[in-house]
Chain A
């Protein structure tokens, strides 16, 4: 197995035509917190990947989970991280994907452009490490808020156009539920400390 990437949450290895994601023990965290957390996150992630995959959302096909070592085996995607080759044209496609994922009852929880792969023909959402099964407007809004923040910080010049395109496409796809989501989105922004706008 060859190390491909070391994220904050897990290490990702290449194993033939598969990718293995392993949540390693975090030395800073008490084992009583760390072990159950890693196990439940692994189990949750695998379940969510299966749900997304079967709902037709483009994610790596989940193949095998081992609870003992908190590992997940999945299909290897040939692509690069979206943040390293970012473009606003893809934001429409992303809006539709995220809406579809939300409709399937999943929120990603760490929706940044680094967690989206760009292949020759499409976008693929990866890293469901902080995902949840939920259809709550507030959780959906948090997803969008995280993406907005990521766009603002990493793609500052294109941020406004990218976000507008995304939101147009997302609201169009999610339909009338957008009203509630948007209310929460505004609420989250207000809740941040020291927001000068209120």
Chain B
């Protein structure tokens, strides 16, 4: 059985193919604006432009034909409306033309499912950190529940905003991580956590004021140390509360090795396990959508439109 998955929630357009649940193709391209952040309609234009090429690349990589596709999955949300529309249209087009069944996939759940697959962890707490999303999620009572999340902006978004103010191009994460390595001085920053929820806009305001007055290395270092500590603390709270003993960090910000290191130390100290997932599957990708659509292949979904504010905990999980 071949399942093709399309990811298009934000600035990445990805096409993945799984054969009987195993990934055999994972192609993608990410829009990197020369300056500023993502403009939704520019992301959509990027996706429309690259969709045919990426579809072909994935199909060729898999060594199959379009008509071999049994199920086509797409990211229903959450995400940017213009970007989501591209995945929606491509999926429905493939379905009409080649008779594949359409499955709508929740983007956040796809991140968790692919993380479970590649770490082998049965029932982890997932810290999902990207530009738009910052959630602590775990499985409970037939659903993926969000235990903690950002009360305002995503952590990746915060990093990009700060990076932009320091003159770094998008995405700023890798640059900040690099600079942070040479940071020596810790500048005290607001540490904002309530229960398992975190908030970042106070941090944005505070850090904006010290940029230029403090060395960028020290700002980057202090920023990373503070926000990651908040995220790891929220994750640990969720683990203690739900009595779970493993952690997976995923999403674009999971590329940061300091964040992963902190997760590992936290887990070691409480006798839990933390595993890294291959970078290819940490950021947005089509394979996670294809894999999750494969898990959901028997679902009967009435609503196959886009869901820009699709909440993780509204999806009933019937395959676990």
- Interface residues of chain A, those whose CB is within 8 Å of chain B, are 6-9, 26-30, 32-34, 37, 109-110, 112, 114, 130, 142, 146, 149, 153-154, 156, 188, 191-196
A30 touches B241 (CB 8 A): no
Report the separation of the CA atoms of residues A191 and B133 in the bound assembly, to the nearest whole angstrom: 14
Q: Mark B188-219, 1 if CB is under 8 A from A, else 0.
A: 10010111000000000000000000000000
For residue A194, which residue of chain B has the nearest CB? B309
A191 to chain B: which residues have CB within 8 Å? 151-152
A196→B225 CA distance, assembly (Å): 33
Q: Contact: B191 with A33, CB < 8 Å?
A: yes
- Cα-based distance from A153 to B238 in the complex (angstroms): 12
Cβ of B27 < 8 Å from any Cβ of A?
Answer: no
Among A9, A30, A114, contact of B186 (Cβ-Cβ < 8 Å):
A30
Set B150, B191, B268, B307: member contacting A193, Cβ < 8 A: B150
State which of A28, A114, A142, A156 has its C-beta within 8 Å of the C-beta of B194: A142
Contact A196-B270, Cβ < 8 Å, known A8-B236, A33-B186: no
**B residues near A, CB below 8 A?**
77-78, 133, 140-141, 145, 147, 149-152, 186, 188, 191, 193-195, 225-226, 229, 232-233, 236-237, 239-241, 261-263, 265-266, 268-270, 307-311, 314
Q: How far is the CA of A149 from the CA of B237 in the complex (A)?
A: 14
Asked whether B314 lies within 8 Å of A26 as measured between CB atoms, the reply is: no
The closest CB in chain A to the CB of B154 belongs to: A193
Q: Are B311 and A196 in contact (CB under 8 A)?
A: yes
Do B195 and A28 touch (CB < 8 A)?
no
Asked whether B149 lies within 8 Å of A8 as measured between CB atoms, the reply is no
Q: Is the interface of B mostly helix, strand, loop or mixed?
A: mixed
Q: In the bound complex, how far is the Cα of B94 from the Cα of A85, in angstroms?
A: 52
Query: Is the beta-carbon distance between A114 and B241 smaller than 8 angstroms?
Result: yes
How far, in Å, is B200 (CB) from chain A's closest CB? Answer: 12
Expressed in whole angstroms, the Cα–Cα distance for A188 and B194 within the complex equals: 13
- Smallest Cβ distance from B46 to chain A, in angstroms? 23
The smallest beta-carbon distance between A194 and chain B, in angstroms, is 4
Contacts of B149 in A (CB 8 A): 192-193
Total cross-chain contacts (CB, 8 A): 88
Most chain B CB within 10 A, of A8, A191, A194, is at: A194
The answer to whether A110 touches B140, judged by C-beta atoms less than 8 angstroms apart, is: no
Q: Across the interface, name the chain B residue whose C-beta is closest to A147.
A: B195
**Is B265 a contact of A153 with CB atoms below 8 Å?**
no
Name the residue on A nearest B141 (C-beta).
A156
Choose among B133, B140, B186, B309 the residue that contacts A196 (Cβ–Cβ < 8 A).
Answer: B309
Contact A28 B147 (CB under 8 A): no
The distance in angstroms between the C-alpha atoms of A192 and B197, with both chains bound, is 10
| 17 further A-B pairs in the complex, CB-CB below 8 A; given A26-B266, A29-B233, A33-B229 | A6-B270, A7-B240, A8-B236, A8-B241, A28-B232, A28-B262, A33-B225, A112-B241, A114-B241, A130-B195, A153-B147, A192-B151, A193-B78, A193-B133, A193-B150, A194-B78, A195-B309
Which residue of chain A lies nearest to B239 when distances are taken between CB atoms in the complex?
Answer: A8
> Judging by beta carbons under 8 Å apart, are B195 and A109 in contact?
yes
Q: How far is B145's CA from A100's CA once the two chains are assembled, in angstroms?
A: 31
User: Does B226 contact A33, Cβ atoms closer than 8 Å?
Assistant: yes
Bound CA span A55–B145, Å: 36
Whole-angstrom CA separation of A193 from B153 in the bound complex: 9
Q: How distant is the Cα of A129 from the Cα of B55 in the complex, in angstroms?
A: 52
CA distance A112 to B194 in the complex (A): 13
Give min CB distance, B230 to chain A, whole Å: 9
Residues in chain B near residue A37, CB distance under 8 A: 191
B182 nearest CB across to chain A (Å): 15
Q: What is the distance, in angstroms, from B105's C-beta to the closest C-beta of chain A?
A: 15
Q: List 7 A-B contacts (CB under 8 A).
A: A27-B266, A130-B194, A156-B141, A192-B149, A193-B78, A193-B133, A193-B149
